[in-house]
Structure formats: C-alpha cells, structure tokens
Structure 1
Amino acid sequence: MITTARLRHIAQINPGTPAFDKLDAGDDVTFLPMEAVWPDSRLDLSRRRTKKSVITGYTRFQDGDILVPKITPTFQASRAVLIGGLHSGVGAGSTELHVVRPGKSIDPRYLLYLFHTHSFLKLGEAEMYGVAGQQRVPDDFLRDFPVPLLSLAEQRRIADFLDAETARINLMSQLRRSQLGTLEERYVTAISEVTTPGISTARPRSTTWPWLPEDLATVRLGYLARVQSGVTVHGARAKDPEDAVFPYLRVANVQGERLDLTEIKKITLPRSMAIRSMLQPGDVVMTEANGNPDNLGRGAVWHGQVANMVHQNHVFAIRVDRDKLVPDYLSALLATTHGRRYFRFTSTQVGIATTSSSKVLDFPVPVRTLSQQRDMVGEYEALRSATDRTRSALAHQLDLLEERRRSLITAAVTGQFDVTTASGRNVTEGVAV
C-alpha cells in the first residue's frame, strides 16, 4: 500500500513571493486575469502590468509555482497550470487563484497532474463553500490533500509518460478546436451569401459605414422596429402594493443566436413596470455588451417559451413591424458579416465592447419583400441546423478527449497501471476522433 503525506508537508500553499518584493515600483510583471489561465499551450502570458499597479488586491506568484483556480466552475474545469517564463520571473493575477510552490521532494509536473485527477477535483468540489455560483475551494483543502509518497525517480517517470500521452490527446483537441473555428467562419460566410450576397468583397461605400455593396438598398432599422427597455435589477427597489414575482431574461440567457433557458431567475416588480418590459413572441433579443466584439449584436428570436417573461435592462428587445420585417430575417442579418461588422465598427470599447439602443436602431437593413425574407430565413435555418449538428459532434469529441485525458492521468498517478510497461504503446487508442 502506498503511503501518503499531506500537501502542506511537501509544498508551500499561498506563500509569499520575495522576488516580487525586490522589484522596483515601475518594473513590469506578467499579469494573469482568470480568463488567461488555461492548461498547456492555451496559457496566455502576454499581458504586462507595473508592480505598483498590482501591489495590492492581487495574488502573487513566481516561476515554478502551480496555480489552482479556486472558484466554481473554473476549478471543476481543471484549469490548474504550472507557471514558467514569467516576465521578471514573477507575476500577479486574480485573487481567485491558489498558489502551490512545490518543495524539493515533489516533482512539479507530477504534482500538477495530481491536480488534474478525478479524485482531486471531486474532493475539492465537495469542500467548496459560499453561495451558489460563487463557491470556492478553501486553502485548507489543499493543505490537507493526501499526496502519494513516491520516489522522485518514479514521479518523473509518471510525469514523462503523461507528458507524451497527453501531448497526443492535446494535439487531437487542438485539431477539433481548429475545426470548430473553421466551421464558424464557413457558417458566417454561408449565411452572409444568403442574405447579403457579395458583401465580403464589397467596396466601401463611405468612411462612416463601410463594406456594403453600392447597389444594395437598405433602410434604417428604426423605421421597421422599436427597442423596448428592460428592468433594472437591484435590491433597493421600494415595496409596492402592485408587486408580483416575474421571470426575467438575463444577459447570461442570451447566447448569440440561441437562448439558454436552463436557469431562469425571478424578480419582484410592480405589475405596471413588468408589463412595460414584458417580452412578446417575435421579439429579437440581444445584449448591449460582450467580451468578444465579434459576438456583439447577435440576436435570438423570443418565441414565448416562458409566460410573463420580462427582460433585464442590459438586454435589448427589438419589436419589429411584422408587416415590414420578419423577426427571423433580422436575427439572421445580425449573425452575418454585415451585422458583425456593423456592431464591431460602431461599438464602444471600454474593457468590453458595448452598443446602445440608438446604434441598434441605426442598423442598416437590406430591403427585401416579406416573401424574399421568408425564403432567406428558410435557407438560413437549414444552414444553422446543419452547422449546429456538426458543432455538437465536434464538441462531444472534445468532451471525450478531455475525459480520456483526465482518466489517463488519474490511472497513471494512482498506480492503476505501470507506466514503464505502458510506455511505447499507444494508450490513447480507443479515443473517438
């Protein structure tokens, strides 16, 4: 039976970083927000900040440390990373990171693989504390986590084996992600050719709003629709005799051309206020801000899936004149090269890309008859359906590869097979690709 030692006896948990303290206030260090923390080649170390700008309110670390995200769902996503190549050898980042500094008796790569095992992730999830959506893994869990006491030579053999095997799996995952990117590009091109033929090669009409073909007649969306304002979500609203509980559509529910209604939250409002912000079937909903400028402006059609649904003020509800505009035609246009270019070009960039109701109403809509619009919607929906099926298949393969990767790591680290005898044969066989 393999004996174990608590992690705190072989590594430092959230230690100080003397190398950071030795830097001058104006020296640059690597900066790691949570969105930049990804395993393997996806780790982004390109950001820089001065020491004085991160001296308080940030987690500090140095080359050779392992960063373990503490908050849900990032922890469960197994995004722990071994850090190396930091500018000045030190960095600062999100306070939602635990720092583990391996001691001399533990190989850093072996320890990192331990943090990717099923047992570590399941045990950590069980120890989380806090409210739903903001739960965190305590540092006591890390300090008390049992680590198998193997010789350094054996640890390195396991790490070398897993380096080689996970590299094969990672390569297959990269290929699948590349395919997803290519699929998205082809999808946008295809639906653009359906609704605005030739737009990709169109000469600019002007310097204020470019990229539309000169012979394409358009009309301002404001002549065909209006934008309904939503409710402000806060806890300071005074009680009212008309108060009632209503479901409301949040920014998180609006996912580009589709709606994610798996979690519907509720809000208490006066009935009169709710009626002014209630969605109707046929409304096109879109968010006013997005971290990715290419996704800003994409909208989904509300079909009345939930009764008496109001919408948040950060979600636009575009109500079209059905005698002039088909809602699904507008949704298709927003997803095309035309729609994405318009909102990227007109967006305001302050941390994230944002737009406004006036810019939404200024959106140029190509003039089509209702019959032409419906025909285009039919082609658009066929393309979207085919793309969704392919996207789902690729995403499923990525899930299988990740599960295979985690199972392989767990089996190797916990001694379920001998890595010495396993080396030299393809243990990734059987992975669906």
Structure 2
Amino acid sequence: MVTEKMRLGDIAEILAGITGFVEKGRYRYKVVQPNSFTDTGTMCSVEIQNRNDIITPKQLLVSGDILLKRLNPTFVYVVSSESAGMVPSQNLLVVRPGKSVNPFYLGYLLEQKEILGHVEHVTGSAAAIKAVSIKKLAGITVPIIPLSEQCRVGELWELSRKRKQLLNDYIAENDRLVSTLASRIINGGGNGR
C-alpha cells in the first residue's frame, strides 16, 4: 500500500469558528461549543445565539466537516447531516476535507497523539494550555493512503466510537442498578418489607 505524507492544509480547508454573537440580534443560529460533543461522536447540547449580521453559507457546517477544539484538543467531531447548517463557535476550528480524503479517516488521524503532538510541539508543549492555530494545524503532515483504505480505517474508527459509547451506557446502567438494589436492601431490609 502506498502511503504519502501530505500537509493538512493541502488536503483540507481549515476555517476559524465564528465570533460576533450578541445578546439580541436579527439572526438566530444554533452554535456548537467545545462542550457540545463527546469523545464518542455524539452531539449533546447546542446553544441558540444571535447575531446582527448574517453568516455566509461557507461558514455554516457541512456534513463531513471535522470540529477540533482550539484549546487542549484531545478528540474531534465529524459533522453529521443532523448537525449540518449549525455554526462553530470561536473556540473551535473546522477542518473541511477535500474530495480525496475520507472525513472519518482524517478524524481518526486528528485524534492520534502523534498527530496532535505535532501541533503541540509547534505551539510549545511546555504551555499549560495548548492553543492550536489555523496556520500550525495546516502545517502538520498526515499519512494519506488510497481512498478505499481510508474508508476502511474510517469505518473501523466509527465502530470503535460506537463501542465506547455502548460500554459507557452499560457502565452507567450497571451503576444505576447497583444503586437501586443497594437502596432497596438498606431501606427495606432486603426481603420486601
């Protein structure tokens, strides 16, 4: 398999999140914040915010965009069709892959410590808070494999995230069950009194 190293800026467009939201404005938008998505690829909470001027269509999220936190990034979110049309906050960077790159493959790469380590190295890893800039993110190199193989890696990554979410749900349900049973024993003596 042929692997080619390419600069991220050559295979994807990198956009800054949007600023300029006000308390009362003519236009309302659903705004994605750094805490709006989880490490398992779930969108949990989105804020409605206002602006006095309209946001251009290019600045709205499209399916396949990858959201990366500007401060201390550890995981990414690949925008689904349900999240398309939302607006990224100023605390996010948007990586918009070109046609030759699978978004889930690129998402997988951007979560790898050795890839993020390049950004941290460039920004100064001694800093307590690591900020990522568009320029520095665009300058990192990533391995590019044939598109068919990218799709396979991307699907594997998606499945691993779903598995992680299922395991999290299982642990939460198990904790709830143990708590309920313990409460019944403590409050009822364990024999239905």
Fold in common (TM above 0.5): yes
Q: Does 1:268 align with 2:50?
A: yes
**Which consecutive segments of 4 or more residues in structure 1 shift more than 4 A?**
346-351, 402-405
Report how many aligned residue pairs link the two structures.
Answer: 188
Question: How far 1:271 sits from its partner (Å)?
Answer: 5.0
In 2 relative to 1, CA 362–402 (structure 1 residues): closer, same or farther, beyond 3 Å?
A: farther
1:244 partner letter: Y
Task: Report the secondary structure of 2:55's partner residue.
Answer: helix
Corresponding residue to 1:280 among 37, 62, 71: 62
In the alignment, the residues of structure 2 paired with residue 384 and residue 307 of structure 1 have an alpha-carbon distance, to the nearest angstrom, of 20
Task: Report the secondary structure of 2:96's partner residue.
Answer: strand
Task: Report the secondary structure of 1:248's partner residue.
Answer: strand
Q: Unpaired runs of 5+ in structure 2?
A: none
Question: How far 1:338 sits from its partner (Å)?
Answer: 2.8
Q: Unpaired runs of 5+ in structure 1?
A: 1-214, 291-295, 428-433
Per-residue CA deviation, residues 31-85 of structure 1 (Å, 9 max, x unaligned), is xxxxxxxxxxxxxxxxxxxxxxxxxxxxxxxxxxxxxxxxxxxxxxxxxxxxxxx
Q: Give the match for residue 256 of structure 1.
A: 39
Q: Does 1:330 align with 2:106?
A: yes
2:59 partner letter: S
Q: What is the percentage of aligned positions where both structures have the same residue?
A: 18
Q: Decide whether the 8 Å contact of 1:257 with 1:335 is kept in 2.
A: no
1:269 partner letter: R
Q: Give the match for residue 160 of structure 2.
A: 383
In 2 relative to 1, CA 367–399 (structure 1 residues): closer, same or farther, beyond 3 Å?
A: same
Q: Give the match for residue 313 of structure 1.
A: 90
Q: Does 1:218 align with 2:5?
A: yes
Please list, as runs of the form range in 1=range in 2, the aligned pairs for 1:91-102 lying within 5 A after superposition: none
Instruction: Give the structure-1-normalised TM-score.
Output: 0.38
In the alignment, the residues of structure 2 paired with residue 344 and residue 396 of structure 1 have an alpha-carbon distance, to the nearest angstrom, of 37
1:389 partner letter: L
Which structure's relative contact order is higher, taking Cα pairs within 8 Å and 6+ residues apart?
2
Q: Does 1:339 align with 2:115?
A: yes
Q: Decide whether the 8 Å contact of 1:257 with 1:331 is kept in 2.
A: no
Question: How far 1:216 sits from its partner (Å)?
Answer: 6.0
Question: How far 1:351 sits from its partner (Å)?
Answer: 4.5
Q: Decide whether the 8 Å contact of 1:320 with 1:326 is kept in 2.
A: yes
Per-residue CA deviation, residues 211-240 of structure 1 (Å, 9 max, x unaligned), is xxxx96411100001111222255378x6x
In the alignment, the residues of structure 2 paired with residue 396 and residue 359 of structure 1 have an alpha-carbon distance, to the nearest angstrom, of 42
Task: Report the secondary structure of 1:353's partner residue.
Answer: coil
Per-residue CA deviation, residues 301-326 of structure 1 (Å, 9 max, x unaligned), is 1023145311101111111111x211
Per-residue CA deviation, residues 122-155 of structure 1 (Å, 9 max, x unaligned), is xxxxxxxxxxxxxxxxxxxxxxxxxxxxxxxxxx
In the alignment, the residues of structure 2 paired with residue 248 and residue 317 of structure 1 have an alpha-carbon distance, to the nearest angstrom, of 13
In the alignment, the residues of structure 2 paired with residue 337 and residue 227 of structure 1 have an alpha-carbon distance, to the nearest angstrom, of 20
In 2 relative to 1, CA 236–385 (structure 1 residues): closer, same or farther, beyond 3 Å?
A: closer
